[in-house]
Amino acid sequence: MQLSNLLVAIMAATTVSAKCHTSGESFKDRAAARKAITDACTKGKFAVTFGIQEKIYHCVNAGGKQKMEFWVQNKANSRRNWDDSDCIHRLSREVDGCTKENFKGGYSDIDNWYYSADPNAGQC
């Protein structure tokens, strides 16, 4: 029984890689970022079937001359779509999860998906 738990833990560790951006802008309005994510995941650019290895970029202007850049990539060798709530959860985690880096956003590889949320100076 313990061996199976160890194997599950090892497999999970190999399918998840999360990192935080360590330089650049911090999200000035994380609530606006989460709203932009919800809109993109439910009725926008990410509410689609992703082609093989397809990477989609979405940029939203925030107040104060800041842009919020989001990327999602299907890293699998097959077309895929996903549940809206999974899209929202994973991208929101990139906005809110990097507290030590003052909310500069982050990126993850999880289950053959790549997610990134990155606030930057300027406009889209």
Is 8 contained in some domain? no
Q: DSSP letter string over 71-113? A: EEEE-SSS-B---HHHHHHHHHHHHHS-TTTTS--EEEEETTE
Q: 76 lies in which domain range?
A: 17-121
Q: Is 83 within a domain? A: yes
Half-sphere exposure of 114 (CA within 13 A, CB side): 12
* Residue-level pLDDT at 16: 55
Does some domain include residue 6? Answer: no
The verdict on residue 9 lying in a domain is no
Cα–Cα distance, 124 to 122 (Å, whole number): 7
* CA 55 – CA 60 distance, rounded (Å): 17
The reported pLDDT for the residue numbered 12 is: 41
77 within some domain: yes
| pLDDT, tens digit, 9 for 90 and up, residues 23-76 | 989 999 999 999 999 999 999 899 999 999 999 999 999 987 999 999 999 999
Query: Is residue 82's pLDDT more than 50?
Result: yes
Q: Per residue in 90-105, pLDDT tens? A: 999 999 988 877 899 9
Domain for residue 90, yes or no? Answer: yes
How many domains in the chain? 1
What CATH code is carried by the domain that includes residue 25? Answer: 3.30.430
Residue 11 has pLDDT above 70, yes or no: no
Q: Determine, yes or no, domain membership for 7.
A: no
The verdict on residue 12 lying in a domain is no
pTM confidence score: 0.82
